[in-house]
Amino acid sequence: MIPFVDLKAQYASIKSEVNAAIQGVLDSCQFTLGSEVAKFEEEFAAFSGAKLGIGVNTGTSALHLALLAAKIGPGDEVITVPFTFVATVAAIRYTGATPVLVDVDPVTFNMDPAAIEAAITPRTKAIIPVHLYGQAADMDPIVAVARKHGLLVIEDACQAHAAEYKGRRVGSLGDMACFSFYPGKNLGAYGEGGMVVTNDAGYARTIRMLRDWGAEKKYQHVLQGYNFRLEGLQGAVLRVKLKYLEGWTEARRAAAARYDAGFAGSGVRAPAAVKHNRHVYHIYAIRSPNRQAWQDALQAAGVQTGIHYPIPVHLLPAHADLGYRAGQFPHSETAAREVLSLPMFPELTEAQTSKVVAAVRALTERASAVA
């Protein structure tokens, strides 16, 4: 079976270094925040083209605190997309603000910049584009419409470490950017983790306080904060892994290129990478109107797949109270019905990508024989 992700293969490749880093934290007993987290914050912010980084416990908390630092709360509206992981919308709701959804582009599945202006009201405070699957959203028109209306832009870069837009790293394209270090992400912790990066010292200072009980100094609580601190062990593991991220990113891109070449001319609907983007392939999703049959057949052929995501957020029971209906975001709804994520991780071998290509091509050939 070719797994959808293979965290064990990656651990095996860095085992002694990671074990030593973990041992270092055990010896120092800096289990929460501490020097490894502080160094990782500096290194990851620099990697993402930003001045400041604030480590937190999850990507969800990164989004939540970025919004709070921007003073977004009840009565405010934040524009984002329905075709994303639920956390993007949930984080907006944690603040008491209302998510206002706009559809995605049918080719890239990222926010359609042309849909934004009609969604802006006097209550709109910010836009959260999601760099879905590891490909940057079309940031120039998004930032332009935000600036025109005095709105903030917070990048949801949880799937897009090291991705680039017109030669610039995601993380430096808006006012703040939020990353997740969930284990399966392109840069994954051995547990949970997240970070906000920004060039704005005021936002950074507020987020630093909010993640640690709103304290300016120990027991001096100036804000109503949270316990959203990043653990020392995660900081140490992530510092080791960050050194490999460029190489792993190129390995993902090479695996994606092998898939693309293998599917060329076959009728398989491969993902579209926009020319000015450096797509980092957190997810490599093909499309099929017969997705369930394809997923079952691939499983039987020894290829594990995933679906990111089967239900757009506006149709999830948890967010039904937002009042959206089926049919309102047709591109998101079609994408949710058709996408199928193939195995994608840096250690994928040529033999593995060849086997996946053959198994997928067999499905299209069967389909055209039936037709």
Ligand X SMILES: Cc1ncc(COP(=O)(O)O)c(C=O)c1O
Q: How far is the CB of 182 from ligand X (least distance, A)?
A: 4
Question: Which one, of 157, 163, 190, lies nearest residue 10 by Cα?
Answer: 190
* Least distance (Å) between residue 187 CB and ligand X: 11
Give the C-alpha separation, 230 to 294, whole Å.
Answer: 40
- Which segment (18-26, 57-65, 144-152, 313-321) binds ligand X by CB under 6 A? 57-65
From residue 105, alpha-carbon distances to 111, 112, 132, 147, 356 in Å are: 6, 5, 11, 21, 27
How many residues lie near ligand X (CB under 6 A)?
14
Q: Which is nearer to ligand X, 78 or 87 (CB)?
A: 87
Residue nearest to ligand X (CB): 59
284-287 and 339-342 beta bridge pairing: antiparallel
Q: Which of 48, 135, 180, 249 binds ligand X (CB under 6 A)?
A: 180
Residue from 77, 156, 164, 231 binding ligand X (CB under 6 A) = 156
130 lies in the site for ligand X, by CB under 6 A: yes
- From first CA to last CA, the distance across the chain in angstroms is 30
Smallest gap from Cβ 141 to ligand X, in A, equals 20
Segment 83-122, which members bind ligand X (CB under 6 A)?
Answer: 84-85, 87-88
Q: Among 140-148, 155-163, 200-208, 324-332, which window interacts with ligand X (CB under 6 A)?
A: 155-163
From 53-61, 133-141, 273-281, 312-320, span contacting ligand X (CB under 6 A)? 53-61
Closest CA to 234 of 85, 65, 30, 45: 30
How far apart are alpha carbons 129 and 104 in whole angstroms? 10
Length of the chain, please? Answer: 371
How remote is the C-alpha of 277 from its chain's centroid?
15
User: Can you give the binding site for ligand X, defined by CB under 6 A?
Assistant: 58-60, 84-85, 87-88, 130, 156, 158-159, 180, 182, 194
